[in-house]
């Protein structure tokens, strides 16, 4: 605790811990009596983890306006959803994908007819990919690539190019002569192809979605 803090009032932890490193927090925690460490540890380990946002290429990562356009229902419900501030599919589904019955009830309150409710709910939960499973845009992937970069080779331009070519052609196998910086981009593209094609197959099984 910082000197002068009012111990009787609520603690503003963002102010109290400003400038602290993780090591500082760990040291302070270990300095606490065992009787305090145990309940704090239990509270921290059982606290619910934040729900990660849906992937940009998933249906849940899209907008409600896109979903309604896809179903040809924008003219009927577009203004209603906009009036109530329902802008994204994830928002419509609710936390962690939401309860199907709760979604149906919400759509009923918005005046959506039964047959249209079923169509909206089915597409909102569909595994179909709405874009590329772009693993190359992940920060962890880019960080892993960094040590492989050779400044004089110009391969920082070839990696994304080869990634895009493999993704566009949906290749399942690639023969590369030599290995280096570009290899990880090709491997990531192959992994993303498998993920996208698997999502397409799952969508065909669940809602008949096919790619023309």
- Cα–Cα nearest to 130, from 208, 66, 39: 66
Sign of CA dihedral 31, 37, 41, 47: negative
Give the SS3 label for residue 63.
strand
- Nearest CA-CA partner of 132 in 157, 164, 160: 164
How far from each other are the two terminal CA atoms of the chain, in whole angstroms? 63
Which residue ranges in the chain fall short of pLDDT 50? 1-5, 212
**pLDDT attached to residue 96:** 59
In this predicted structure, what is the pLDDT of residue 46?
Answer: 64
| CB-CB neighbours of 4 under 10 Å | 5
pLDDT at position 83 is 92
Residue 107, burial from CB neighbour count under 10 angstroms (0-12, 13-18, 19+)? buried
Closest CA to 161 of 133, 175, 181: 181
Q: In the chain, which residue ranges form alpha helices assigned H by DSSP?
A: 13-16, 22-30, 34-46, 64-71, 74-83, 89-93, 100-109, 114-124, 139-145, 155-169, 181-207
Tokens of 65: 């306006």
Compute the distance between CA of residue 124 and CA of residue 97 in angstroms, rounded to an integer.
Answer: 9
- Report the distance separating Cα 175 and Cα 209, nearest Å: 32
- In a 10 Å sphere around its CB, with 0-12 CB exposed, 13-18 middle and 19+ buried, how is residue 128 labelled? buried
pLDDT of the residue at 163: 93
User: Which pLDDT value is given to residue 5?
Assistant: 47
């Amino acid at each position: 605790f910082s000197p002068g803090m009012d111990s009787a009032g609520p603690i503003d932890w963002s102010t109290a811990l400003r400038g602290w490193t993780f090591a500082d927090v760990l040291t302070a925690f270990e300095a606490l009596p065992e009787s305090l460490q145990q309940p704090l540890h239990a509270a921290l380990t059982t606290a619910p983890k934040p729900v990660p946002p849906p992937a940009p290429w998933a249906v849940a990562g899209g907008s409600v306006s896109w979903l309604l356009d896809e179903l040809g229902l924008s003219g009927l419900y577009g203004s209603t959803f906009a009036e109530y501030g329902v802008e994204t599919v994830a928002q419509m589904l609710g936390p962690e994908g939401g309860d199907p019955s709760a979604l149906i009830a919400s759509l009923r309150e918005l005046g959506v007819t039964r047959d249209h409710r079923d169509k909206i709910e089915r597409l909102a939960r569909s595994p179909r990919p709405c874009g590329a499973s772009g693993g190359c845009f992940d920060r962890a992937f880019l960080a892993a690539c960094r040590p492989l970069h050779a400044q004089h080779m110009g391969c920082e331009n070839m990696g994304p190019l080869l990634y895009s070519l493999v993704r566009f052609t949906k290749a399942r196998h690639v023969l590369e002569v030599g290995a280096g910086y570009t290899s990880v981009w090709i491997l990531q593209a192959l992994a993303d192809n498998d993920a996208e094609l698997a999502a397409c197959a799952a969508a065909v099984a669940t809602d008949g979605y096919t790619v023309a």
